[in-house]
Structure 1
Amino acid sequence: MSEPQRYFAKMPYMACRGVTTNLAGPRPGQRLIAGSTIDVQFDYKKTRLYEFSSSDYRNFVIPEDGIYHVHFQASVWANSVRDAGDNINAYINVKDSTGTGVNGNIASVIQQNVRSGWYQTIQVSATEYFTKGSKIRGSIYLDGGAIGDWCVADGEIDTGFYAFMIAPGSGNWTAQSPGPAPELKKWSDGQFVSAQTMNDQTVSQMRAKENPPRVTVRDTSFNMPGNPTDKNAVSWKAAYGNDKFEPVSIGPGWGANTAITIPHDGLYLVSVIGNGRMLNPPAPNAQFAFQISLHRNLDTKPLILLQGGNARKDHESGLLISDVVRFMKGDKVNTRFFGYTSTSRWDSGRSDGRWWTMSFTYLGGGAYGN
């Protein structure tokens, strides 16, 4: 009994803070080259690995099969920028070792750098099933039209790459979950402990920890006017889960698959990636704002709200939502898009399943308030 508890108390993780430097001036950091993608290399002195390993501090080896949450962020600095902004893309990439797990670019966020001599922090996260021996890395792409000096900032608070195991297991993303663990009850002196009671306290607990409820929905397509007054929840095209996370409509007129039904009360790790693309020519040297928000049921007040800007016609900007939220069984959780100005028009941009995603992973009952 004690060995599994020790294992679950400290599962594999990695934390990398601060990149290596190959650009000395005008601002130290890891150089970005226009039209190219770099795999970010981290300073081994500032890297903490538990069970993970790396030979080059660019690629990090998954220590065992399981569900992991990965987060990559990079602060990009430039001393030159086009009037309408240059795009920078952040990716989480995986090289699967067995052919049974995920492979390739699994999550992407795009943003526009619009201020010279300043920092633009771009973030991307994913919760996925990885196989032992697979390699994960964070990558940055810089627009081919960019001029001047560009770099990934080397500070420990600027750029980081993190991963931690949520649950072990040799199944896959959709392997059926047993659901939440049974409630732990105190035993009293002299109490007869049945096999069922013992299993609830041990075997059933372990099975629940090994395969918690989770779902990821991907891919949306919309085209809507700016300042939408209603019905602006995105509709998802595909869902992959291991429990009863049913894709449903929020309500009449909202469209199909605009929400996911939560199957159990409890705390959930939330990750949402979404993009906005302006279809109207923006005014020179101006950003047009948009926001992506997470809602419960038909509530107009968001649970989480993130805001961004878009300065170039026909180019996307992306946002990441990553948080822990308490949901109740039956909640219809939905993501909504809002682009500003009544004369603008927006769409979802690229829709290959990486640029628009929403995932929930059950973490336990907890006592965290709404």
Structure 2
Amino acid sequence: MVNVPNREYWQPGEEVKADKMKRQVNDFNDVLSKQDHLLIQGIDKTYPLKSGQPLAYLSIAGEPDVSGGWGKPTGTFPTDYNIPADGVYFFYAEFSPGQPPSSNATDLATSIQLRLKHKKAGQTKWDWRHLSNAIETNKYIHRDRPVHFSVQIFRSMYLRKGDAIMFTAYLGHPEEGAWSSNWAPEWKYGAPTSNRVIVWRMDFGATDYENPFHVPMPAVKPWNDGEVITAEKMNEQITNVRRALSNTPRFSVHVAASRSPGTLWDVNWDSKYKEQLGDWKFNGTHATAPESGVYFIAADVSADGSTDNVPAYVKLYLNVDGKAVTSVDKQFQRKASEQQPSAATSLQVFSIRFLEKGQRVHLSVESQGTNPAKPTASVFPANPSDGNGEFRRSSFSIHMIAPGAKSFVS
């Protein structure tokens, strides 16, 4: 793959030479049309869990499909991958292991936690940058066959060349037996269908999540036969277009503020974990689009269950200008003794939408228990007990992917 060329401007009176045109037009187009990406599918092992062994880690593995210079470090985990180039990357991971068959009927809730781990280039310490949970109570249905859970992560972050990433899963409250990850129904036509990691470089022009300064997409102007090509027009129609396409407006915030149970409320975010590029307005709940265009929107919010051992129903809404445009819901239940960070549940929403400049995007949560008048779930706060500062348990990202769009279809 062609390396990202340095950004160059044209000067008044400069002769336009082929090698500079190749760097600024051809090489840029090549990079833009082949953004570095990575696809990993499948899990490489079945892990036995026994009594007194409360947790285990599963590493997402399998042969990767890649574009770009992704590299696997030598002598470390078989599933961490070196980032090939600087940029803002979007991560999607889905993990669905099979709980072992059990001869014992139990109402013990089993939790799964998926973690995104990151290691800076030249360092040995791994940081837990994000985690997501799924929880299920299987009282009878897992006697004869594995019951599969599914947990997902959406996350946008800036990484440098040589950094490494890895996804691991924590299994809480295990039953004795072999936790399988390659159960037959997951496979169709020779490919796994429920375990995957997808990484895509969104902005190769970024020098960190909030830099360099964003240049709006200029209006496209025609080139006319016989016109004098000026340095001003070359910079506007070539250099500034490149700057706009390689460094688009983006917004990300992590860690939802703790919230007591309520029937319906807006998710409030901890602003100290906010990062953005572009003129976003943010009031702690609502993010206002700085420019018109098509945006990629992804979020997950973790909820804590009740302490009264009744089912909790939780619904997460993605809203634009106060109107719900998509939603996801989940029901879970556990005993009071199981109120702990490893037993929270996460809800994820994802959408691609055209936003007008000034439209406001926010998330809201609806919570109800068995008795609708008694809400039984709340947004779960950051957990500072991981030894690395704190978990990034919830996240909300908005990323422009089509700055020249006038609507979703044009």
Instruction: Give the TM-score of the pair, scaled to structure 1.
Output: 0.85
Query: Does 2:154 match 1:125?
Result: yes
Query: Does 2:383 match 1:346?
Result: no
Deviation digits for residues 31-60 of structure 1 (CA, Å, limit 9, x no counterpart):
66753342514222xx21222122564001
Sequence identity, in percent?
16
- Give 1:264's aligned residue: 291
Deviation digits for residues 309-356 of structure 1 (CA, Å, limit 9, x no counterpart):
221243421012233222111112111011123213332223256112
Query: Does 2:398 match 1:360?
Result: yes
- Give 1:26's aligned residue: none
Check the 8 A contact 1:177/1:208 in 2, yes or no.
Answer: no
1:226, CA displacement in angstroms?
4.5
Check the 8 A contact 1:180/1:364 in 2, yes or no.
Answer: no
| Larger of the two Rg values belongs to structure | 2
Q: Distance in 2 between matches of 1:182 and 1:82?
A: 62
Query: Does 2:340 match 1:318?
Result: no
Query: Does 2:76 match 1:76?
Result: no
Query: Does 2:129 match 1:106?
Result: yes
- Give 1:87's aligned residue: 111
Q: Distance in 2 between matches of 1:72 and 1:223?
A: 27
- Give 2:302's aligned residue: 275
- Shift of the 32–354 alpha-carbon distance from structure 1 to 2, 3 Å rule, reads farther
Specify every segment of 5 or more residues in structure 1 that has no aligned partner in the other structure, as ranges. Answer: 24-29, 249-256
1:294-313 equivalences in 2 (<5 Å): 294-299=318-323, 302-312=324-334, 313=336
Q: Distance in 1 between matches of 2:392 and 2:230?
A: 48
SS of 2:128's equivalent in the other structure is strand
- Shift of the 69–37 alpha-carbon distance from structure 1 to 2, 3 Å rule, reads farther
- Give 2:165's aligned residue: 136
1:362, CA displacement in angstroms?
1.2
Check the 8 A contact 1:223/1:345 in 2, yes or no.
Answer: no
Q: Distance in 2 between matches of 1:296 and 1:353?
A: 28
Q: Distance in 1 between matches of 2:182 and 2:313?
A: 26
- Shift of the 170–39 alpha-carbon distance from structure 1 to 2, 3 Å rule, reads farther
Query: Does 2:214 match 1:185?
Result: no
SS of 1:303's equivalent in the other structure is strand
1:298, CA displacement in angstroms?
2.3
RMSD: 2.4
1:1-370 equivalences in 2 (<5 Å): 1-20=25-44, 22-23=45-46, 34-44=53-63, 47-50=64-67, 51-55=69-73, 57-78=78-99, 79-80=101-102, 82-97=106-121, 104-115=127-138, 116=142, 117-153=146-182, 155=187, 156-169=192-205, 171-228=207-264, 232-238=265-271, 239-248=274-283, 257-283=284-310, 287-299=311-323, 302-312=324-334, 313=336, 314=339, 315-340=343-368, 341-351=372-382, 352=390, 354-365=392-403, 366=405, 367-368=407-408
Instruction: Give the TM-score of the pair, scaled to structure 2.
Output: 0.77
- Give 1:253's aligned residue: none
The amino acid that maps onto 1:244 is D
Deviation digits for residues 106-144 of structure 1 (CA, Å, limit 9, x no counterpart):
121111133423221111121100011111111100114
- Give 1:251's aligned residue: none
Q: Distance in 1 between matches of 2:90 and 2:121?
A: 18
Check the 8 A contact 2:112/2:149 in 1, yes or no.
Answer: no
Check the 8 A contact 1:177/1:213 in 2, yes or no.
Answer: no
Check the 8 A contact 1:35/1:141 in 2, yes or no.
Answer: no
Query: Larger strand proportion, structure 1 or 2?
Result: 1
Specify every segment of 5 or more residues in structure 2 that has no aligned partner in the other structure, as ranges. Answer: 1-24, 383-389
Q: Distance in 2 between matches of 1:264 and 1:208?
A: 12
Q: Distance in 2 between matches of 1:218 and 1:84?
A: 30
Deviation digits for residues 195-247 of structure 1 (CA, Å, limit 9, x no counterpart):
2221122111111223211111122224344533xxx1112221211221111
Check the 8 A contact 2:128/2:391 in 1, yes or no.
Answer: no
Q: Distance in 1 between matches of 2:222 and 2:241?
A: 15
- Shift of the 190–332 alpha-carbon distance from structure 1 to 2, 3 Å rule, reads same
- Shift of the 179–323 alpha-carbon distance from structure 1 to 2, 3 Å rule, reads farther
Check the 8 A contact 2:250/2:397 in 1, yes or no.
Answer: yes
Q: Which deviates more from structure 2 when the two are superposed, residues 133-142 or residues 211-220?
A: 211-220
Check the 8 A contact 2:131/2:391 in 1, yes or no.
Answer: no
The amino acid that maps onto 1:348 is V
The amino acid that maps onto 1:356 is S
Q: Distance in 2 between matches of 1:205 and 1:188?
A: 19
Q: Distance in 1 between matches of 2:280 and 2:180?
A: 41
Q: Distance in 2 between matches of 1:41 and 1:357?
A: 22
Equivalent residue pairs, number = 343
